[in-house]
Amino acid sequence: MIEISKSNGLRGRIKVPGDKSISHRSVMLGAIASGVTRVSGFLNGADCISTINCFRAMGVDIEFDGGTGVKIHGAGLHGLKAPDKVLDCGNSGTTTRIMSGLLTGQDFKSTVTGDASIRKRPMKRIMTPLKEMGADIISADGNDCAPLIISPSKLHGIEYRSPVASAQVKSSILMAALYAEGQTVITEPALSRDHTELMLSAMGADITTNKTSVTIKPGNVLYPQDITVPGDISSAAYFIGAALIVPDSDIVIENVGINPTRAGIIKVFRDMGGDIELTGERKSAGEMVADVRVKTSKLHGIEISGDIIPTLIDELPLIAVAAALSEGTTTIKDAAELKVKESDRIRLVTENLTAMGADIEARDDGFIINGRVGTSGLHGTVIEDSLDHRIAMSFSVAGLAAEGVTVISHPECVSISYPEFYRDLRLTSGIIP
């Protein structure tokens, strides 16, 4: 349990930990590359450790320095070994879905599972296209959820129109496509994060992209890379949001990944009136990075919908918090995916913000939030986080701007993506004992 009280302003410069999506991919693709992949800036969080453990169980030699450096001795495309235990993905949907695609191309049987949250999350979205490619993948309990049992089979390329803009689905198919006969084309309803495409391309895969489509042909070898993981914009987002809504704030977050398929949060907060300045924009290992300076701003409501949604999907709980403290109405649409994240984030955001005194209505695909600026603002309460790291962090930010004390019941769940979150929050805001 952690108690958070009102902050007098966030100050200073911080660096957030490495990008979770890129860290996962560096291990998965490094494991099937031919030779040594060196990673710096790796996210030492529970989800990425789950990925490391799964690939170690398949015989990959992974040296992890316990900080942010990882050395992966790639086994080559056909060098993974049959695991002698169930592959446990913990809380990580990214590991479960992307690794399952990779496993359909192996010549051994495997079982993939995870924690209680993972075992409730939909896997049909990957099973359908993977089966279409010829994969033998079944849900052990027949409920289209993990555990998944994957047996060897011969794969062939497909042309797939995905019903969801999901990088996990896209990447799962891309992994299987590396082992399939013929080319595979995936088209998404809107472009989701493209880290897999960028890394595969850097490793020499035959992959091309065109707007919302990606085409890949199988190859014989992936070349290892030195990968520098940028700071995770999804982690930086909490400090950006906090600095905007807490009076007298002015902070800099250094070395943040601003890949356009991830940076919707910057555009949306700017459209809401946020004072956000990007400096030192540069490319690092194929990904754009910048330092982000944020000052307290008077925010107003906007509509957030359509193609921008996949570029800020994990930030929507935080945006809802900021919207509750903005002038006027914010409408969030086309975000039904929030219901199938680590928790049902539409329900939890609505219940927790309502408990803090906000005017919010849940919709099937988002929220309508009437900002409470100039009226009563928000007040502290006990937050139900359901062990969801993004709910815990979003409502910690809400607590910095609320009257009274906000209690986060399971602060330890932030270790999934940002183990030092409360240290950094304390350093910048001076609020937690």
Which listed range, 164-172, 180-188, 258-266, 289-297, lies at the site for ligand S3P (CB under 6 A)?
Answer: 164-172
Q: Which helix H or strand E contains 171, and what residues bound it? A: helix 167-177
Residue 370 near ligand S3P by CB under 6 A: no
Query: Shortest Cβ distance from residue 171 to ligand S3P (Å)?
Result: 6
The strand pairing partners of 184, in sequence order, are 216
The pairing of beta strand 329-332 with beta strand 303-304: parallel
Binds ligand S3P by CB under 6 A, chosen from 7, 26, 51, 94: 94
- Of 337 and 412, which has the nearer Cβ to ligand S3P? 337
Residue 313 near ligand S3P by CB under 6 A: yes
Residue 167 near ligand S3P by CB under 6 A: yes
The pairing of beta strand 2-4 with beta strand 406-408: antiparallel
Which listed range, 59-67, 161-169, 204-212, 328-336, lies at the site for ligand S3P (CB under 6 A)?
Answer: 161-169
Per rule CB under 6 A, count of chain residues that contact ligand S3P = 12
Which listed range, 103-111, 166-174, 179-187, 402-410, lies at the site for ligand S3P (CB under 6 A)?
Answer: 166-174
Residues composing the chain = 433
Binds ligand S3P by CB under 6 A, chosen from 232, 287, 291, 314: 314
Look-up: residue for tokens 């490495």?
A: 18
Query: Measured between alpha carbons, how far is 140 from 84 in angstroms, rounded to an integer?
Result: 18
Which listed range, 49-57, 70-78, 165-173, 220-228, lies at the site for ligand S3P (CB under 6 A)?
Answer: 165-173
Query: Shortest Cβ distance from residue 417 to ligand S3P (Å)?
Result: 8
Binding track, positions 178-197, relative to ligand S3P; x by CB under 6 A: --------------xx----
Query: Shortest Cβ distance from residue 25 to ligand S3P (Å)?
Result: 7
Query: Shortest Cβ distance from residue 53 to ligand S3P (Å)?
Result: 17
**Residue 5: left (phi > 0), alpha (psi -120 to 50), or beta?**
beta
Query: Measured between alpha carbons, how far is 18 from 252 in angstroms, rounded to an integer?
Result: 16
Contacts for 210 with CB less than 8 Å, ≥ 6 apart:
none
Contact call for residues 322 and 271 (beta carbons, < 8 A): no
- Of 29 and 431, which has the nearer Cβ to ligand S3P? 29
Give the relative orientation of helices 167-177 and 195-202 as an angle to the nearest 10 degrees: 30
User: Which of 60, 133, 46 has its CA nearest to residue 95?
Assistant: 46
Query: Shortest Cβ distance from residue 192 to ligand S3P (Å)?
Result: 6
> Is-catalytic flag, 314?
yes
Query: Measured between alpha carbons, how far is 118 from 388 in angstroms, rounded to an integer?
Result: 12
Query: Shortest Cβ distance from residue 129 to ligand S3P (Å)?
Result: 13
Residue 100 near ligand S3P by CB under 6 A: no
Binds ligand S3P by CB under 6 A, chosen from 21, 23, 50, 106: 21
Binding track, positions 376-395, relative to ligand S3P; x by CB under 6 A: --------------------
- 142-147, long-range: CB < 8 A, 24+ apart: 145/119, 145/120, 145/121, 146/89, 146/96, 146/112, 146/113, 146/114, 146/118, 146/119, 146/121, 147/86, 147/111, 147/112, 147/113, 147/119
Binds ligand S3P by CB under 6 A, chosen from 168, 296, 311, 343: 168
Where does 229-379 show beta strands of DSSP type E? 250-257, 275-284, 287-295, 303-304, 329-332, 359-363, 366-370
Looking at residue 125, its amino acid is: R
Longest dimension (CA), the chain: 63
- Of 24 and 372, which has the nearer Cβ to ligand S3P? 24
- Of 192 and 249, which has the nearer Cβ to ligand S3P? 192
Tokens, residue 53:
């453990």
Tokens, residue 15:
């660096």
- Of 378 and 421, which has the nearer Cβ to ligand S3P? 421
Query: Shortest Cβ distance from residue 339 to ligand S3P (Å)?
Result: 11
Residue 166 near ligand S3P by CB under 6 A: yes
Among candidate residues 19, 47, 88, 314, the one labeled active-site is 314
Q: Which residues are catalytic?
A: 314
Site residues (vs ligand S3P, CB under 6 A)? 21, 24, 94, 166-168, 171, 192-193, 313-314, 337
